[in-house]
Structure 1
Amino acid sequence: MIVRPRPHWVRLLFVRRGSLVPRILSQQLFIIALSSAVVLFHGQLFHWKVTLNSAPFSLMGVALAIFLGFRINVSYDRYWEARKLWGAVLVESRNLARQALTMTGRGVEPRPFVLGLIGFATTMRNQLRGRPRDTALEGLLPADLLSRLRDARFAPALVLLWLGEWLRERRTAGQLEPIAAQQMEQSLNELSGALGGCERIANTPLPFTYSVILHRSAYLYCMLLPFGLVDSIGLMTPLVVAFVSYTFFALEELSDEIEDPFGTLANDLALDTLVAGIDASLREMLGETPPPAPVPDANFILT
């Protein structure tokens, strides 16, 4: 995730990080070269004059813009839903930590349970990003549970199971009132729901055919556009086509990037930072000193 103050409007015109230019540079150079060739040969292709004007491109441009807008909206909806689900993980983790610290009886050590909540967020991050399930779990979960997680396919669900077993043991021992246990179970259900929602987003990409149609339409439009403009604007054709193609290519690339919000690209969710925030919040509730908050790197990126 790019985290930086908004620069001056002049500087914003030349910002490279976040502009997606590096990812679409080869396509842009190809379109500019094609447009220059069209101007050089006056719109002729093998001694055949391509008789196009700007009228059909006006109609196709509106349709393509609506098509791209729909794609962006769908991708951003996935991105924002994922962020709300991670917000729910933070809220319910705080609720459970507070209840474990204030509602359990004397002689109960709630720290393993609270650290287990941090372990849940960590394993959830690991699963969504395809990392080894036991990454960064040292000191958070019991050794026998860690050994089970190494080969588990759904490690966060096993952590939730362990948290539920901890509640059952406290309730059976009379160290937790049944109504309090029921409330905490409801919060565990909310965590399970957030996990399932993130799995749904991660495991259900947008239909591939939709991406193919949009990709072909955008490229064909930009490749034919120079033939429709060369007779009316002449030498300005490469510049105008470069601007239009940048808009279409960048929007397509952005929608593809945020379609999977759990990756490590510049515009994806900063899952490492979100997990670090949960860790710091729960450790403060335990009375411990949390580690320093993550800061953006030299490119203003939080992962």
Structure 2
Amino acid sequence: MIVRPRLHWLRMLFVWRGSVVPRILWRLGFFLALSCLVVAMGPPSFRLEPGPLGLVGVALAIFLGFRNSTAYDRFWEGRKLWGSLVIVSRSFTRQALTLPTPALTRDERRGVCDRLSALALTLNHQLRQTQADVTTLSSGVREHVLRAEHRPARVLMGLAEWLSEQRRQGRLSDLLVTSLDENLNRLSEVLGGCERIAATPIPYVYSVMLHRTVYLYSLLLPFALAGGLGWATPLVSVFISYTFIALDTVTAELEDPFGTEPNDLPLDALTRHVERAVLELAGEPLPPALQPDERFVLT
């Protein structure tokens, strides 16, 4: 996720870091060169009226707006799910550290925190399909994680086993167990929601259709504008192409909110936030919060 201070409106016009311009610059350069070539060659042998192409542009803008809304809904739902993960982790930690009688020892408190940190860590790497570094976890939690194929679900099972053990020892009443188990169910819903977003992308054929239409429209645009605008055609054509191509590019990033593109969710920072939240409740030393890099990107 790109995190940077709000700039003055004039500086926002020329901002480079954090925009999609570097990724689409060569494509804009191609359409600029094409526009200049069309104007330099004079009126084309066939006449392309700007009116019908303008109607296509309006329809294309509507469809791109719909796809952008769909992609942002996925992005925002992913963020809400990770927000729920933070909230429920805090609630479970608070209950687990204060309700058992007698109170948990320091090692037991740290074990609960490690399990919740491991849940966020393994979910992060499962969604991004990367390898999790579990060396910071306690040995018991680490063994459970390394043996499992579906690691977040195994960590959640470990929390349920811990809860069952507290009940067998008589440290939690049935009422308290039910309250803690409700938080485990909410964590399970978070896992399922994240997996649903990651496993169900926007239909590919829909993305291909819009992508092709955007570039075909940008390709034909200079032929419709050259007759009426002359040498202003390259400027107008490239600006319109930039609008459509940039929106198509940003939408492609947002539809997978758990990826590693600059505009995706900062899962590493959110994972660290969960870890810090539960450790703070346990009175343990906190690791530093992650900060944006020199490109203002928070991973």
What TM-score comes out, normalization by structure 1 length?
0.94
Instruction: Provide the residue aligned with 1:227 in structure 2.
Output: 223
Aligned mates of 1:176, 1:138 — CA distance in 2: 31
Instruction: Provide the residue aligned with 1:240 in structure 2.
Output: 236
Instruction: Provide the residue aligned with 1:5 in structure 2.
Output: 5
Shift of 1:87: 0.4
Q: Does the 8 A contact of 1:39 with 1:234 survive in 2?
A: yes
Instruction: Provide the residue aligned with 2:123 in structure 1.
Output: 124
Aligned mates of 1:67, 1:201 — CA distance in 2: 21
Instruction: Provide the residue aligned with 2:35 in structure 1.
Output: 35
Structure 1 gap segments, 5+ residues each: none
Instruction: Provide the residue aligned with 1:294 in structure 2.
Output: 290
Aligned mates of 2:145, 2:287 — CA distance in 1: 25
Q: Select 2:135's aligned residue among 123, 135, 138.
A: 138
Aligned mates of 2:142, 2:130 — CA distance in 1: 15
Q: Does the 8 A contact of 1:52 with 1:228 survive in 2?
A: yes
1:92-241 → structure 2 map (5 Å cutoff): 92-106=88-102, 108=104, 109-132=108-131, 135-143=132-140, 145-150=141-146, 152-241=148-237
What do the CA deviations read for 1:88-135 (whole angstroms, capped 9, x no partner)? 000000000000011111153333112211111111111111112xx2
Shift of 1:29: 1.2
Aligned mates of 1:150, 1:162 — CA distance in 2: 13
Moved more, 197-206 or 109-118: 109-118
Aligned mates of 1:255, 1:230 — CA distance in 2: 30
RMSD of the alignment, in Å?
1.3
Secondary structure of the structure 2 residue equivalent to 1:150: helix
Does residue 82 of structure 1 match 2:81? no
Letter in 1 for 2:6: R
Does residue 58 of structure 1 match 2:57? no
Q: Does the 8 A contact of 1:100 with 1:114 survive in 2?
A: no
Secondary structure of the structure 1 residue equivalent to 2:66: helix
Aligned mates of 1:148, 1:295 — CA distance in 2: 30
Q: Does the 8 A contact of 1:119 with 1:141 survive in 2?
A: no
Moved more, 171-180 or 148-157: 148-157
Aligned mates of 1:24, 1:151 — CA distance in 2: 43
Shift of 1:191: 0.6
Q: Does the 8 A contact of 2:113 with 2:275 survive in 1?
A: no
Aligned mates of 1:224, 1:99 — CA distance in 2: 63
Q: Does the 8 A contact of 2:276 with 2:287 survive in 1?
A: yes
Q: Does the 8 A contact of 2:97 with 2:103 survive in 1?
A: no
Corresponding pairs, count:
296
Aligned mates of 1:151, 1:36 — CA distance in 2: 61
Shift of 1:141: 4.2
Instruction: Provide the residue aligned with 2:66 in structure 1.
Output: 70
Secondary structure of the structure 2 residue equivalent to 1:112: helix
Shift of 1:201: 0.5
Aligned mates of 2:222, 2:67 — CA distance in 1: 25
1:229-268 → structure 2 map (5 Å cutoff): 229-268=225-264
Structure 2 gap segments, 5+ residues each: none
What do the CA deviations read for 1:38-72 (whole angstroms, capped 9, x no partner)? 1011242xxxx221122112211110000100110
Aligned mates of 2:246, 2:164 — CA distance in 1: 52
What TM-score comes out, normalization by structure 2 length?
0.96
Q: Does the 8 A contact of 2:18 with 2:295 survive in 1?
A: no
Letter in 2 for 1:199: E
